[in-house]
Amino acid sequence: MTLLATSVKTTCPYCGVGCGLVAQSDPQGNIEITGDVDHPANFGRVCSKGAALAETLSLDDRQLQPVVDGKSTSWEIALRRIADKFNESIETYGPESVGMYVSGQLLTEDYYVANKFMKGFVGSANIDTNSRLCMASTVAGHKRAFGSDTVPGRYEDLELADVVVLVGSNLAWCHPVLHQRLLAAREERGTEIVVIDPRHTSTCDEADLHLPIKPGTDVVLWNALLGYLVENGFVDECYVASHVNGFDTTIAALDQPSIDDVAKMTGLSATDIRCFFAMFSATNNVVTVFSQGVNQSTAGTDKVNAIINCHLATGRLGKPGMGPFSVTGQPNAMGGREVGGMANMLAAHMEIRNETHREIVQEHWDASNLVTDDGLKAVDMFQAVRDGRIKVLWIMATNPAASMPEALSVREALEICPCVIVSDVVTENDTLAYADVQLPSQAWGEKDGTVTNSERCVSRQRTFLDPPGETRPDWWQIAEVAKLMGHERSFQYDSPADIWAEHIELTTLRNDGQRDLDLSFLRDADYESLSPQVWGSTCESGNRFFGNGGFYTANQKANMVPTLYCPPADQPTQDRPFQLITGRVRDQWHTMTRTAKAPRLLTHVGGPTLTMHSADIKAIGLADGQIARVSTDHGTVHLPVESSTRLREGNVFANIHWNDQYSSQACIDTLVPANLDPISGQPEFKAVPVTVEPIKNRCFGYFLSTEKPNLDDLFYWSANRTDAGWQVDFALTFFPSDFSDWLASTFSRLQGDDIEAFDYVDSSRGDARCIRTRGDQVLEIAFISSSPVSVSRDWLRGLIAEEFDDTFGVLAGIPAESNKDKGKIVCACESVGENEVISALSDTGCATVHDLGKVLGAGTNCGSCRPELRRLVEEFGVAA
Ligand SMILES: Nc1nc2c(c(=O)[nH]1)N[C@H]1C(S)=C(S)[C@@H](COP(=O)(O)OP(=O)(O)OC[C@H]3O[C@@H](n4cnc5c(=O)[nH]c(N)nc54)[C@H](O)[C@@H]3O)O[C@H]1N2
Ligand SMILES: Nc1nc2c(c(=O)[nH]1)N[C@H]1C(S)=C(S)[C@@H](COP(=O)(O)OP(=O)(O)OC[C@H]3O[C@@H](n4cnc5c(=O)[nH]c(N)nc54)[C@H](O)[C@@H]3O)O[C@H]1N2
Ligand code: SF4
Ligand SMILES: [Mo]
C-alpha cells in the first residue's frame, strides 16, 4: 500500500462530525492519519476511531473483483447482468418492481447518480437509504417546523452557549470531537450541560444534570417545559408574532399536567425537572442537541417538534449560541438529504409532490421517466421484496441483514428475491451472503468526492491510495448500468467533479431564495482543491438560518406543531418484562466491517454484552459474564450479561455492533420489531420489550491463538482480531476433560508434530488451562472454567507469538507482578487499563484527568476516554 502523494487532505469516513484528516507517509513508509488543523469541524482533533484509521487499510478482507452467482467475473458481464435484470423486470412488471437501498456512507456524487437513475430514468421512487433508520424523524420534524430540512445552527453554537441540553445523544462516544469542543468551551466559560437519557452514559460523566428519563417519554417533558415557559413569561412575543405560526393552537393543545404528574410519567424526580426548567429558562443561549434517543422512536417526529417548539416560542434559534441542533450519524447523512436520497424526496431539497419542483428537475435531467409519487420507505421496501412485488434490489454501502429491524425477515426477503445486487468493499458481511451479484466498490482512501457534515459543511474525501484490483466507484457502477439501459447521454460522467457541477446547478435553478439549499457560491471553486465550505453563506448571522425568520413555508413563518404524548408501540408485559435499549459503543462503527480490523479498538469493549441493572441480574439468577437468552416474537440472541447501576431497573442495553461475522448469535436487530413512526417511517430501535433468561452452560472459555480457530462446535462464541492473532470468548454445554486433545482436534487450526502442549485440568472444579507452543513461541493459550473466565486478557494477548519461558506463570492467567495486570482498557490509544488508573489515583497522588495524562499518558492522544477517566477520578480519587 503506498500513498499517492506525500500528504493528502481528506475527511473521516465515520461520524457526522466530519473531521478533516491528513494522510501522510512516515519516514518508514507507513501511512499515518492525523487530524487536519485547518478543518473547521475539528481543528486537528480526532477521536479513537479516527486515530486508528491507518490500522484499517489492509486489503485482506477486500472484495477486488465482481462476482456473479458465486463466480468471479468481469465488470462487463456483471453490469450486463444487472442491466438485463432491471430491463426485464421493468418491462414485465413495471418500474415499481425494482428498488435501490443505499446509504449515508455514500459520497454526494454516488448518491446523486443513484437518485437520478431511479427517480429520473427507471421511473420509480423505490430508492431509500439507511438514513430512514437514522435521520428520517429529524427530516420530517424540520420540514413540519421550518418548511424545509434545514439545520439552523453551527458547531460553534455549542461553544457559545451557556446551557447545552443533550437529548438522546451519547455525544462523548458518538460525536467525540464535538463533545471535546464542548468540554473545552466549558473550561473557559462554565457552560452547563444537561443530559436526557435513560442510561447514565459516559456523556453524563461530564454533565451538570442527568435526567434518566423513561424511554419514549420525551414529549411529556418538552411539552411540560413549553407550558412552563409560557406560564413564567419566557416567551419571546416579538419573535413569535413576526415569525411563528400555530403558537396559540399549540399552547391550547398542551394538557398541562402538574410537575408531579410529569415526574410520574417520565420516571424523573420533580426536583430534577424543576432544575432543568430553571436552567433552560435562565439564559437565551441554549442549544438543544438531539440524536437517536429522539429519532428512533414511534414518536420520533413529535419528539423533534416538541423540542423545536420550545426554541421557537423563545425565539432561540439562528443566532450565535442557541438553537435546536440535530447531530447527524453518518459521514454523509446530510449530503444524502441534499440530493434527495430518500423515497419521499426529489433532489436538491425539492419535493416529488410539488409540480414546480418536478418541472425544474425534469428540465435539468432531461429525464425520460420522472417519478410523480413517493416510493417505498426502507421497511416497506423490504416487505415488498418479501412478498414478491420487488424483484430486483440493488444494495449499496449498507448491511441491512444486520441493521434493519426484523432482520430475520429481511434475510428471508433477500433469500426470496430473484436478483440481489450488493455493492460493498468487503468479501463477507451478513448481507453479502444473499448477493447474486457482488460488486467491488472503492473504499475510503480510494474513492473521491464530497460529504456534508452535521453543520452543513461540505468537505472533500480524497483518494490517497491506489484503488486495488478491479474496484470501481459506486457512482461509476450506476452510470454504467444506466448507459447499458439506453440512457447514455444522461450518465456521461468522467469524474466526480462532473457530477458535482451538475448537482450545484440543480440547487440554483429557479431558486432565488425559494429553497435553503443553494450552492451557487461553489460554482467557480476548483473541485480538486476545494476547502471545507459551509452552505447557507447567503443568510445572515454567520451561516445560520432563521435568526430573523425567513422560513421556507408559504408565509415564511415557522410552524409550532401540537405534539401529543404517545408511548412506545410495545410495552413490557409479564412475558417480556425488560425494555431493551440499543445503541453504540465508543470504539466500534456499526456492523464492524472497518473498526474490527484495528485490534486496539477491541480493547475497550471486546464483545457483545447485555447490560442489566445489578438487581435485575440477580433476580433472574444470572451473574456477570454468564450468557443470557434474549428473545422477542422476532428472534433470539445469546449475550453475556454485564451488571451495572448506570441504567434504570427494568431497562437493558445491548450494542448494535456484533453480528454473525463476530459472534454466534448476537445480531440485535433480529429481535427488534418494525414498529414505525407514522410520519417519518423510522423504526423504534430504542424501546423493545424482551424476555431475558439464563442459559445453563457447563463451562466458559477464553482462547488466544495466532490463527482464527474453528468455531463450528461452540454453543456460544464471540471472536475478533488481536495484534498477534485472534481471541475468542466461548461457552460450552459440556466439559472437555481431554482438554488439550479437544483443543487440537475441534477448535484449533494449528496442526503439526512440532506443537507441544502444556496443560492443567481439574475436572472436579471444571477448571482447565492449556498453552500450545512451537519451540519457544506461544501459539495458543486457552482457559476453561465453570464460571466466566477471569484472567488478565490484556497481558495474555501480549504473550501470543512471543517467546515464552514461564509455563506456570502463563497458566495462572494473571501476571506475577500485579502492576502488569492493567485491567479493562480505558485509553485505547495509549493502552492504559482501569487498574493502572486506579492505582495512579491512590498511590501516585494523581488527582485530576490532567494528572493521569502526565503520569500514564492516558487521554493525551485522541481524548475519547477523558469522560471515563473523569468518572474514575470521581470514584477512586483521593477527594472521593
Ligand atoms: N462510536 C460510534 N459512533 C457513532 C456511530 C457508531 O456506530 N459508533 N454511528 C454514528 C451514527 S450512524 C449515528 S446515527 C450516531 C448515533 O449517535 P447517538 O444517538 O448519540 O447514539 P445511540 O447510542 O444510538 O443513542 C443515544 C442515546 O439515546 C438514549 N435513549 C434511548 N432511548 C431514549 C429515549 O426514549 N429518550 C432519550 N432522551 N434518550 C434515549 C440511549 O440510552 C443512548 O445513550 O452515532 C454516530 N457515531
Ligand atoms: N437496533 C438498532 N439498529 C440500528 C440502529 C440502532 O441504533 N439500533 N441504528 C441505525 C442507524 S442510525 C444506522 S446509520 C444503521 C447503520 O447500519 P449499516 O449501514 O447497515 O451499517 P454499516 O456497518 O455501516 O454498513 C456499511 C456497509 O457498507 C460497506 N461500505 C463501506 N464503505 C463503502 C463504500 O464506499 N461503498 C460501498 N458500496 N460499500 C461500502 C461496509 O463494508 C458495510 O458492509 O443501523 C441502524 N440500525
Ligand atoms: S469524531 Fe471521530 S469518528 Fe467522528 S468524524 Fe471525527 S474522527 Fe471521525
Ligand atoms: Mo445513523
pLDDT, tens only, 564-612: 999 999 999 999 999 999 999 999 999 999 999 999 999 999 999 999 9
- 176 CA distance to ligand 3 middle (Å): 7
In this structure, the residue with its CA closest to atom 26 of ligand 2 is 398
166 touches 203 (CB < 8 A): yes
Please enumerate in sequence order all residues whose Cβ is within 8 A of that of 524, keeping only pairs 6 or more positions apart, or say none: none
Question: What value, to the nearest 5°, has the Cα angle with vertex 338 and ends 333 and 344?
Answer: 90
Would you say the CB of residue 822 lies under 6 angstroms from ligand 1? no
Would you say the CB of residue 50 lies under 6 angstroms from ligand 3? yes
Would you say the CB of residue 21 lies under 6 angstroms from ligand 3? no
pLDDT, tens only, 79-136: 999 999 999 999 999 999 999 999 999 999 999 999 999 999 999 999 999 999 999 9
Q: How confident is the model at residue 36 (pLDDT cuts 50, 70, 90)?
A: very high
Reply yes or no on whether the pLDDT at 691 is more than 90.
Answer: yes
Would you say the CB of residue 12 lies under 6 angstroms from ligand 3? yes
Q: Is residue 520 exposed (0-12), middle (13-18) or buried (19+ Cβ within 10 Å)?
A: middle
In this structure, the residue with its CA closest to atom 4 of ligand 2 is 403
- In 204-302, DSSP assigns E strands to 209-211, 244-245, 286-290
Would you say the CB of residue 53 lies under 6 angstroms from ligand 3? no
Would you say the CB of residue 56 lies under 6 angstroms from ligand 2? no
- 475 CA distance to ligand 2 middle (Å): 18
pLDDT, tens only, 364-422: 999 999 999 999 999 999 999 999 999 999 999 999 999 999 999 999 999 999 999 99
Q: What is the reported pTM?
A: 0.98
In this structure, the residue with its CA closest to atom 24 of ligand 2 is 590
190 touches 206 (CB < 8 A): no
Locate the ligand 3 atom nearest the alpha carbon of residue 864 and give its number.
2
Q: How large is the average pLDDT for residues 652-676?
A: 98
pLDDT given at position 484: 98
Task: Give every strand in the sheet of 7-11, ordered side by side.
Answer: 7-11, 20-25, 31-35
- Which of 479, 501, 505 is closest to 120 using CA atoms? 479
- Rg, C-alpha atoms of the chain: 27
Would you say the CB of residue 177 lies under 6 angstroms from ligand 3? yes
Location of C-alpha cell 410495545 = 570
CA dist., res. 870 & res. 204, Å (int): 11
3-class SS letters over 164-178: EEEECCCHHHHCHHH
726 touches 781 (CB < 8 A): no
Would you say the CB of residue 604 lies under 6 angstroms from ligand 1? no
CA dist., res. 614 & res. 636, Å (int): 22
Note the ligand closest to the C-alpha atom of 18.
3
Locate the ligand 1 atom nearest the alpha carbon of residue 175 and give its number.
47
Residue 612 gets the label, from left (phi > 0), alpha (psi -120 to 50) or beta, of: beta
Identify the sign of the CA torsion 729, 732, 737, 740: negative
pLDDT given at position 537: 63
CA dist., res. 303 & res. 296, Å (int): 10
Cα atoms in the 13 Å half-sphere on the side-chain side of 386: 14
